[in-house]
Structure 1
């Protein structure tokens, strides 16, 4: 790691990875703290006991971190919350991956599929019918939804500071629709990243296998519906970013 400023508090038990940058007056306040490689901790931030700061993460000035931080995440506030993700594939550690402007595709005839440039991930613009009786959106399987689902699950009542997903699948594919409210979806293929805000029931995101997925910034009323191509299989999950990158390297 880079040199530790004299005014930082870093207990001997802390595990600090290579390439870590600590700003002035950083406090690692307790046992069991792990700071992974390439992380950046800005001035006067406080890291709580047992917290892991993920690979390449950025803790902004004055943040009080009481929960572990995912790889490449940006956190701020007290208590700290994820406010974005770093795209470390781009020079200069720009603070945000590309955010997809879904409104820019409004001119396309529906149904439509738009590549997101992250593996085979894609944004789907579903058909929408509205009249005096209300609105309806529909997608046919498998012509308009890219696989035949084997199961579905719904995510709701998520506190806004909580993250969901944070894993990849070796084989399972997923299709995400936010039926109510909004949430942000991060897609990462180990090289490129993008984010999509799902805020309408006629928008879907296809997340194929071997894509690291995270959902965050849930509105209080958000209901996220997820179709999966396979039944639940514990061995299909890659639950750490390091394991995901290692699997990509083996396949590459």
Structure 2
């Protein structure tokens, strides 16, 4: 490692700059700021006092980091991205404490994006150029637009659209996926001039005894559901009307599925992080569960989930 490089035309008042970090011309770093190792602080960057920047962070030209901002390791901030720290700013009026904004490890924020105060950008999330982010972004999510909306998830294989069977009576089939123990099920489907019928039998087509069901409907298309895993509960998802995108994640592999047929089901075993989003306006999602409701069975923090998948003995 080498000492930090400070360009002769930069003003760095902080003594807390890590080894290997480069601060380029016309950047200004105030005395209380902390900047980690191997960072790249480009021209015309301003860093206020109550700012913590992790290791290997890239700050492109024209970025201002205001009090209350926390950037974890390996974060990328694109040119002229704008952070805010006061939801109701007034000239010469200051809040008791500025809203703290956190950008988690490996996240990227595109050029000219605007980030409102007091929110969290999840690990490895991707904020598109010009997006206006008004609320927290989940880990691995891709958001674009004003206000920013989730349009996908990074590093996610897309299973794509399941085509209807050619035969009028479909033979049930189970397809393995890239996510551990997650399976896509083509249920029996009968269609004739009188209408269509899809059927599944508990213990056969549905791979567990069902103790509970719930329906999700009237979900605004901008909303996401799920974002949790279960310790022991099994689930089976069917979009009985409309369409829903489902992301399944085992901590090592992640895949996206489009449920848009009433004969198409997705089995989610325990210890699978599940997300449902991009509901069509008419979507009705049926969820079959192997257990009665138990709040203690839920894992709602993605970092906790990752820790448990890497240490299966952890309670």
Q: TM-score band (shorter)?
A: over 0.9
Could you state the TM-score of these two structures normalised by the residue count of structure 2? 0.74
- Following the alignment from structure 1 to structure 2, what is the Cα–Cα distance between the partners of residues 119 and 41? 31
Contact 1:45–1:64 under 8 Å retained in 2: yes
Contact 1:168–1:211 under 8 Å retained in 2: yes
**Greater CA deviation, 223-232 or 24-33?**
24-33
Show structure 2 runs of 5+ residues with no match: 1-53, 86-98
Matched, 1:144 2:238: no
Deviation at 1:132, TM superposition (A): 2.5
Matched, 1:18 2:73: yes
Determine the structure 2 residue equivalent to 1:7: 62
Deviation at 1:218, TM superposition (A): 0.5
Flag the 1:165–1:73 CA change in 2: closer, same or farther, 3 A.
same
Could you state the TM-score of these two structures normalised by the residue count of structure 1? 0.92
Deviation at 1:65, TM superposition (A): 0.6
- Following the alignment from structure 2 to structure 1, what is the Cα–Cα distance between the partners of residues 161 and 185? 10
- Following the alignment from structure 1 to structure 2, what is the Cα–Cα distance between the partners of residues 132 and 6? 64
Larger C-alpha radius of gyration, 1 or 2?
2
Contact 2:162–2:258 under 8 Å retained in 1: no
Determine the structure 2 residue equivalent to 1:47: 115
- Following the alignment from structure 1 to structure 2, what is the Cα–Cα distance between the partners of residues 41 and 122? 34
Contact 1:44–1:63 under 8 Å retained in 2: yes
Deviation at 1:106, TM superposition (A): 3.9
The match for 1:29 among 65, 77, 84 is: 84
| RMSD after superposition | 1.6
Tell me how many residue pairs correspond in the alignment: 243
- Following the alignment from structure 2 to structure 1, what is the Cα–Cα distance between the partners of residues 72 and 151? 23
Show the 5 A alignment for 1:196-207.
Answer: 196-207=257-268
Deviation at 1:233, TM superposition (A): 0.9
Point out 4+ residue stretches in structure 1 off by more than 2 angstroms. 3-6, 101-109
Matched, 1:98 2:166: no
Contact 2:237–2:267 under 8 Å retained in 1: yes
Deviation at 1:107, TM superposition (A): 6.5
Where relative contact order (Cα < 8 A, 6+ residues apart) is larger, the structure is 1
- Following the alignment from structure 1 to structure 2, what is the Cα–Cα distance between the partners of residues 61 and 102? 28
- Following the alignment from structure 1 to structure 2, what is the Cα–Cα distance between the partners of residues 137 and 105? 12
The match for 1:79 among 147, 157, 161 is: 147
Instruction: Give the secondary-structure state (helix, strand or coil) at the position aligned to 2:227.
Output: strand
- Following the alignment from structure 1 to structure 2, what is the Cα–Cα distance between the partners of residues 110 and 24? 54
Deviation at 1:9, TM superposition (A): 2.4
Determine the structure 1 residue equivalent to 2:190: 129
Deviation at 1:190, TM superposition (A): 0.7
Show structure 1 runs of 5+ residues with no match: 88-96
Contact 1:187–1:211 under 8 Å retained in 2: yes
- Following the alignment from structure 1 to structure 2, what is the Cα–Cα distance between the partners of residues 154 and 50? 32
